[in-house]
């Protein structure tokens, strides 16, 4: 026994050293021209470093100090999925730092010394994540055991118990109301907390995208009309941005003009959007109660929704992503509930609502169709008794989709968006290839590229983290034959220099998986482009001081220790992966389907033109409390069923 303890201590010491190396060692010192980084390592505050190392040792050898934890960890083995996830997160950390600092994997493959350092760092991060997952598994068993021992109180009984404690207590009155009316109370508190943002940023926060959409609604020339060959020269609106959302913005302004105010019209829109987002989030809290989650968990979710700045900022931001995110949260809740009640027949009313939700998803954002195609068909495998109804739902949705995009929009003279929006990945790869391997291209091949993207300044236009400078030069008159010739050349380049293509893609997406990268967070600045030529009378009010204060709080929030992780893109992507792996590898595999819309969003981010773009991840970042609720509810059900069997 003593020898086992001794071995355990030495393992903890080794793991501590590996992880400390991964956290503190700057690989730049291996590169001769960056020897100055050694000074930074030496100047690291001794107390901070020592405290971190001590915390790491306790982290790895905690069971020595906590006997109860030792009992929980005895015989506990990580499932292969979590072990693989620990390795994947380590990969993200090692390569993410390299791309953030060098726009390449040079800090990994830049020499033997760098590769060895990176390998040691990878081991250190792997041990860290593996240990974290072990402790989480132990924690879930503790929470589950407690849940199994406690009876789930009925809403009426729980509310009665609260009243019995202190009838006149304001706190208990609130808790009673919260238990009886979780939706209304949650919505009221959220709107109350968000109201300061609504006042400060009245009538709405317009960024470039919604401003251009409003211009399109009023048939003004925009760059999006220049990107395509219009099917009707008199119609300047295109479907680059979802037409339904553009119409919603424009009709809001027209409604305001009935009352003599464009600003009031924009506020009508932002009020509708705020109520939609708030109602959906309040609905998640009501659903958490239905799942039997504790009041503490639900109140925690309510606090996150009410006090985290990103929610009110995006409620007031007129970007298409806010409403789309609202419908995505509803969609995830719908999938989970359908699977949970898979043995029940789907009613006609519910089927009709499902068709409507699927259709609204596709007209709210152009990638909504991809989300549905990568998720909804999998219900056929887990809801076998409802296959006919699901097939009818899907067929009705496809009819609506085809009628809207293939008949209605073209019939109104509205041109579809440019194909270049779907080609960010290959275009970025080509641009990087031209920058790094121009000598490999023949004159004929340069001409092929020139016809599509413009060759002369392509290498200069290449931005490793933003595809817009490259894809915005796409020739809208490109023929099918020219595009085919380009892809033949693209494939030839892939065979010659696959590493260049891989690096181009990794460079454009690593921020979605690397927690230390932050960029493009919230909107708060005044965008005046719709005020030019007197198109729309849009202006902020005189509360500049309040706006500046709220903006500073919002911009600073991601950097607050621990709390800031709520808005960290990389951490939320990791959390999504963790919950998905947990669902898939346990006996709840059928519920994995409810995670598919959000995993599809990750794939869409990979194909997107911008790295670490916050609004691209809104669907799963805003849904994270709900997704965590799915896991906790299933964990409690499993523990209860296990205790009943025993």
532 and 551 fall within a common domain: yes
| CB-side neighbour CA atoms (13 Å) of 258 | 5
Percent of the chain whose pLDDT exceeds 70? 86
SS (H, E, C) 454-497: CCCCHHHHCECCECHHHHCCCCCCCCHHHHHHHHHHHHHHHHHC
Cα–Cα nearest to 380, from 589, 590, 583, 588: 590
383 and 423 fall within a common domain: no
Q: Count the Cβ atoms, other than its own, within 10 Å of residue 208.
A: 12
Whether residue 492 is contained in a domain is answered as: yes
30 and 73 fall within a common domain: yes
Q: How many Å apart are CA 90 and CA 80, to the nearest integer?
A: 15
Residue 6 confidence (pLDDT): 56
When mean pLDDT is compared across 27-41, 284-298, 319-333, the lowest value belongs to 27-41
* Confidence band of 148 (pLDDT split at 50, 70, 90): very low
Domain boundary among 485, 512, 539: 512
Summarised one tens digit per residue, pLDDT across range 92-128 is 999 999 999 999 999 999 989 999 999 999 999 999 8
563 and 491 fall within a common domain: no
For residue 570, pLDDT over 50 is answered with yes
1 versus 403: which is more confidently predicted? 403
Summarised one tens digit per residue, pLDDT across range 43-92 is 555 545 665 666 666 666 665 555 666 666 666 778 889 999 999 999 99
404 and 449 fall within a common domain: no
As a whole number, the mean pLDDT across the chain is: 88
For residue 226, pLDDT over 80 is answered with yes
Q: What are phi and psi of 474, to 5 degrees?
A: -60, 135
496 and 536 fall within a common domain: no
506 and 593 fall within a common domain: no
353 and 219 fall within a common domain: yes
Q: How many Å apart are CA 50 and CA 23, to the nearest integer?
A: 13
- Chain-centroid distance of CA 249 in Å reads 24
Q: How many Å apart are CA 594 and CA 578, to the nearest integer?
A: 14
Structure tokens given for 467: 């595809």
42 versus 357: which is more confidently predicted? 357
450 and 591 fall within a common domain: no
For residue 646, pLDDT over 60 is answered with no
Summarised one tens digit per residue, pLDDT across range 30-43 is 775 555 555 555 55
Domain boundary among 128, 149, 170: 149
Whether residue 596 is contained in a domain is answered as: yes
Three-class SS of residue 415?
Answer: strand
Domain of residue 492, residue span: 419-475+477-512
Q: How many Å apart are CA 346 and CA 504, to the nearest integer?
A: 46
Whether residue 175 is contained in a domain is answered as: no
Q: How many Å apart are CA 572 and CA 565, to the nearest integer?
A: 8
Whether residue 602 is contained in a domain is answered as: yes
394 and 543 fall within a common domain: yes
Radius of gyration of the chain measured on its C-alpha atoms? 27
Whether residue 167 is contained in a domain is answered as: no
32 versus 426: which is more confidently predicted? 426
Whether residue 164 is contained in a domain is answered as: no
Q: How many Å apart are CA 37 and CA 34, to the nearest integer?
A: 6
For residue 153, pLDDT over 50 is answered with no
CA distances from 549 to 133, 271, 309, 553 (A): 39, 22, 12, 6
* Confidence band of 145 (pLDDT split at 50, 70, 90): low
Domain boundary among 149, 168, 191: 149
Q: How many Å apart are CA 203 and CA 198, to the nearest integer?
A: 8
151 versus 66: which is more confidently predicted? 66
11 and 134 fall within a common domain: yes
Residue 56 confidence (pLDDT): 67
For residue 168, pLDDT over 90 is answered with no
Q: How many domains does the chain have?
A: 3
Three-class SS of residue 610?
Answer: strand
SS3 of the chain: helix, strand, coil, percent, to 5: 75, 0, 25
Residue 557 confidence (pLDDT): 94
Q: How many Å apart are CA 97 and CA 511, to the nearest integer?
A: 10
Give one word for 520, left, alpha or beta, with left for phi > 0 and alpha for psi -120 to 50: left
Whether residue 530 is contained in a domain is answered as: yes
Whether residue 110 is contained in a domain is answered as: yes
Rounded-to-10 torsion of CA 515, 518, 522, 526: 180
19 and 137 fall within a common domain: yes
């Amino acid at each position: 026994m003593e020898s086992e303890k001794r071995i355990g201590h030495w393992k903890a010491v080794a793991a501590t050293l590996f992880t400390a190396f991964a956290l503190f060692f700057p690989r730049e010192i291996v590169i001769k021209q960056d020897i100055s980084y050694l000074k930074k390592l030496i100047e690291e505050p001794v107390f901070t470093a020592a405290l971190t190392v001590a915390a790491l040792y306790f982290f790895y050898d905690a069971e020595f100090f906590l006997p109860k934890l030792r009992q929980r960890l005895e015989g506990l083995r990580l499932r292969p999925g979590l072990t693989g996830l620990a390795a994947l997160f380590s990969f993200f950390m090692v390569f993410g730092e390299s791309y953030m600092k060098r726009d390449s994997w040079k800090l990994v493959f830049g020499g033997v010394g760098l590769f060895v350092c990176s390998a040691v760092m990878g081991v250190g991060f792997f041990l860290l994540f593996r240990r974290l997952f072990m402790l989480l598994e132990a924690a879930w068993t503790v929470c589950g055991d407690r849940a199994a021992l406690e009876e789930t109180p009925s809403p009426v009984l729980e509310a009665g118990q609260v009243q019995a404690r202190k009838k006149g207590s304001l706190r208990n009155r609130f808790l009673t109301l919260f238990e009886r009316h979780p939706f209304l109370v949650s919505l009221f508190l959220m709107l109350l907390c968000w109201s300061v943002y609504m006042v400060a940023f009245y009538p709405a926060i317009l960024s470039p995208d919604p401003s251009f959409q409003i211009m399109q609604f009023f048939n003004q020339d925009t760059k999006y009309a220049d990107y395509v060959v219009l099917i009707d020269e008199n119609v300047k609106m295109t479907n680059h941005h979802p037409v339904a959302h553009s119409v919603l913005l424009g009709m809001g302004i027209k409604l305001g003009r009935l009352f003599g105010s464009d600003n009031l019209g924009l506020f009508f829109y932002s009020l509708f959007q705020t109520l939609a987002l708030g109602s959906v989030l309040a609905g998640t809290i009501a659903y958490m109660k239905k799942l039997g989650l504790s009041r503490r968990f639900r109140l925690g979710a309510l606090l996150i929704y009410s006090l985290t700045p990103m929610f009110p900022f995006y409620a007031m931001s007129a970007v298409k992503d806010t409403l789309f995110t609202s419908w995505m949260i509803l969609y995830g809740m719908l999938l989970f509930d359908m699977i949970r009640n898979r043995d029940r027949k789907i009613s006609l009313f519910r089927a009709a609502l499902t068709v409507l939700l699927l259709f609204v998803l596709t007209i709210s954002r152009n990638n909504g169709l991809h989300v549905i195609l990568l998720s909804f068909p999998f219900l056929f495998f887990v809801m076998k008794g409802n296959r006919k109804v699901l097939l009818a739902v899907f067929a009705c949705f496809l009819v609506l989709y085809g009628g809207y995009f293939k008949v209605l929009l073209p019939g109104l003279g509205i041109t579809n968006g440019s194909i270049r929006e779907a080609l960010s990945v290959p275009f970025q790869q080509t641009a990087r290839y031209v920058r790094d391997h121009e000598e490999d291209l023949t004159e004929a091949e340069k001409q092929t590229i020139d016809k599509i993207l413009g060759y002369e300044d392509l290498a200069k236009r290449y931005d490793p983290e933003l595809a817009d400078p490259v894809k915005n030069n796409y020739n809208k008159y490109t023929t099918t034959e020219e595009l085919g010739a380009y892809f033949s050349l693209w494939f030839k380049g892939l065979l010659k220099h696959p590493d260049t293509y891989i690096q181009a893609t990794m460079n454009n997406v690593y921020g979605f998986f690397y927690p230390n990268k932050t960029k493009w967070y919230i909107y708060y600045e005044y965008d005046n482009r719709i005020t030019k030529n007197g198109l729309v009378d849009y202006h902020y009010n005189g509360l500049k001081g309040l706006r500046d204060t709220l903006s500073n709080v919002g911009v600073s929030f991601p950097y607050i220790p621990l709390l800031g992780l709520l808005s960290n893109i990389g951490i939320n992507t990791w959390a999504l992966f963790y919950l998905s792996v947990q669902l898939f590898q346990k006996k709840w595999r059928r519920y994995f389907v409810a995670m598919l819309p959000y995993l599809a969003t990750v794939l869409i981010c990979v194909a997107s033109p911008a790295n670490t773009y916050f609004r691209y991840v809104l669907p799963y970042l805003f849904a994270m409390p709900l997704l965590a609720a799915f896991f906790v509810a299933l964990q409690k059900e499993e523990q209860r069923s296990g205790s009943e069997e025993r």
